[in-house]
A and B are shown apart, each in its own frame.
Chain A
Amino acid sequence: MSSTISSAEIQNDWDGGGKPLKASYGKLMMWFFIVSDALTFSGFLVAYGFSRFKNIDSWPIADEVFTHFPFLHGVDAPMYYVALMTFILIFSSVTMVLAVDAGHNNNKNKVAFYMLLTIVGGAVFVGSQAWEWANFIRGEYGAIETKGGQIIQFVDTSNDNKRIAIKDFVVSVPKEREQHQGSNGLWYRDEASLPTFTLEEVSNSFLANPALVVRSEKIDEKGKKIILSREESIEKVSQGVYVVEGANLIRNEYGNRLFADFFFFITGFHGFHVFSGVIINLIIFINVLLGTYEKRGHYEMVEKVGLYWHFVDLVWVFVFTFFYLV
């Protein structure tokens, strides 16, 4: 490497050029960035913890929310999918560190191969997250929001107190109500998309079926949602103001509104990091193929982008714990 001053010439610490941390400029700057980004993420996660502690007796239970697995339709599979995603990300971290190692040995082909695997792993992870989001947004059961802003969910007492989806018990009545779009009716006035069933249909079908009760957001000591009696349920349903299906940034069928907001925000921010990591990896990968680093004589760029990639993996370890496990 050509530097203007070799370390042997340094007489005085104040002359500059010394490396007290014995790491190159680029790697140090990457570490600085990682520290600041880690603080951003911890700010988000701690804010999530704050909201959760604030609603400690009514927070949605992750095991009941994330129950989907590809090709296993209708099977209750909590955790498996995120566990798979975690393994994918850890594995792409391993191929990244193998690429860094191959870079230390100046082995261009191996670096390129492992970089490619890393990019594929990252892309699969981002795709998995999109699938997870799609399921989360679509929802499964549907719920009713009461005038107090609480979510109540339907439970079937004739089926071992399992949850029942709105579409499974609601009898639809012919109706003429259509979504008001900006393209028809009054100019520049529109409304959000309408739920599949109206509140009236849901509450009438609920009253007609004596086996149905609702459960509130509240959690008992064992961490289960409290199921209300039939009388209390009728009372709660009569207070309903809105049929909620799936999730958006305003309300979600899983419970507390903040839950979906934090889910979108934190996993979205992390997913964006993975996405930008894939792009950066791709750029470095092309540079490896072009022989840029071979000419340069070292593969430190791979090492630097590797640091970022591992950091993204590290953040996922925490998101996984705080969103899905705890």
Chain B
Amino acid sequence: MGQHEHKLEIFRGLIKFKSNVQKIWGVLIFLSIVTAIEVVLGIVKPEILMNSFLNLKLINWIFLILTIVKAYYITWDFMHMRDESFALQASVVITLIFLIAYLAFILLVEGNYIYDVMYEGFVSWNF
């Protein structure tokens, strides 16, 4: 063995680490900052982020995007997906993104519809 070459740059080459160990610590710092931002936002809940955009509060959009960012760096650097072939990356990521997005879309739309039915229907659910 011994031919374990790692791609050492993150942020599209903005930061390039000297060794794999250094990259691991760098990614940890980045993930910690992202988590800290999430926690602070979750506690403070700034008024301005409570407005809705596309049926979802801005703050929830931020949480969602930051979560996906975290997932990307865990997969790419901790699970070494960055060093795998494009075929492997694509077969894992595209499959999951497609299936999960489809599942989420279909069930959330359905949930929203059932809410409307219960809200506008003539049956009282709170008696």
A associates with B: yes
What residues make up the interface of A, taking CB atoms closer than 8 Å to B? 1, 20-23, 28, 31, 34-35, 38-39, 42-43, 46-47, 49-57, 63, 78-80, 83, 86-87, 90-91, 93-94, 96-98, 100-101, 104, 147-148, 150, 216-218, 222-223, 239, 297-298, 303, 306-307, 310-311, 313-314, 317-318, 320-321, 324-326
Smallest beta-carbon distance B32→chain A, Å: 7
Q: Judging by beta carbons under 8 Å apart, are B103 and A43 in contact?
A: yes
Q: Judging by beta carbons under 8 Å apart, are A222 and B96 in contact?
A: no
Smallest beta-carbon distance B76→chain A, Å: 11
Q: How far is the CA of A128 from the CA of B111 in the complex (A)?
A: 32
Q: How far is the CA of A223 from the CA of B92 in the complex (A)?
A: 37
Q: Judging by beta carbons under 8 Å apart, are A317 and B88 in contact?
A: no
Q: Is B78 an interface residue (CB 8 A)?
A: yes
Given A21-B85, A90-B32, A101-B20, residue A310 in contact with residue B74 (CB < 8 A): yes
Q: Judging by beta carbons under 8 Å apart, are B21 and A101 in contact?
A: yes
Shortest Cβ distance from A55 into B: residue = B115
Q: Judging by beta carbons under 8 Å apart, are B87 and A21 in contact?
A: yes
Which residues of B are found within 8 Å of A53, using beta-carbon distances? 108, 111-112, 114-115
Shortest Cβ distance from A30 into B: residue = B79
Contact of B1 among A21, A35, A297, A326 (CB under 8 A): A297
Contact of B28 among A1, A43, A91, A303 (CB under 8 A): A91
Which residues of B are found within 8 Å of A325, using beta-carbon distances? 38, 41-42, 60, 63
Q: Is B127 an interface residue (CB 8 A)?
A: yes
What are 17 A-to-B residue pairs whose CB atoms are below 8 Å? Answer: A21-B84, A21-B85, A21-B87, A35-B96, A53-B111, A53-B114, A54-B112, A79-B43, A90-B28, A91-B28, A94-B28, A94-B78, A97-B78, A306-B79, A314-B75, A317-B71, A321-B64
Q: Judging by beta carbons under 8 Å apart, are B4 and A150 in contact?
A: no
Shortest Cβ distance from A53 into B: residue = B111
Provide the B90-127 mask, 1 if CB < 8 A to any CB of A, else 0.
01100110011001100110111011001100001111
Contact of A78 among B43, B95, B100 (CB under 8 A): B43
Smallest beta-carbon distance B16→chain A, Å: 17
Which of A39, A56, A150, A325 gathers the greatest number of chain B CB atoms within 10 Å? A325
Q: How far is the CA of A101 from the CA of B22 in the complex (A)?
A: 11
Q: Judging by beta carbons under 8 Å apart, are A23 and B39 in contact?
A: no
Q: How far is the CA of A97 from the CA of B78 in the complex (A)?
A: 6
Q: Judging by beta carbons under 8 Å apart, are B79 and A46 in contact?
A: no
Q: Judging by beta carbons under 8 Å apart, are B74 and A31 in contact?
A: no
Given A47-B107, A54-B115, residue A90 in contact with residue B79 (CB < 8 A): no
Smallest beta-carbon distance B54→chain A, Å: 14
Q: Is B7 an interface residue (CB 8 A)?
A: no
Which of B28, B50, B85, B104 gathers the greatest number of chain A CB atoms within 10 Å? B28
Which residues of B are found within 8 Å of A35, using beta-carbon distances? 92, 95-96
Q: Judging by beta carbons under 8 Å apart, are B63 and A46 in contact?
A: no
Q: Judging by beta carbons under 8 Å apart, are B114 and A54 in contact?
A: yes
Which residues of A are found within 8 Å of B112, using beta-carbon distances? 53-54, 56
Which residues of A are found within 8 Å of B91, using beta-carbon distances? 21
Q: Judging by beta carbons under 8 Å apart, are B87 and A20 in contact?
A: yes
Contact of B107 among A1, A50, A148, A217 (CB under 8 A): A50
Shortest Cβ distance from A222 into B: residue = B50
Which residues of B are found within 8 Å of A298, using beta-carbon distances? 1
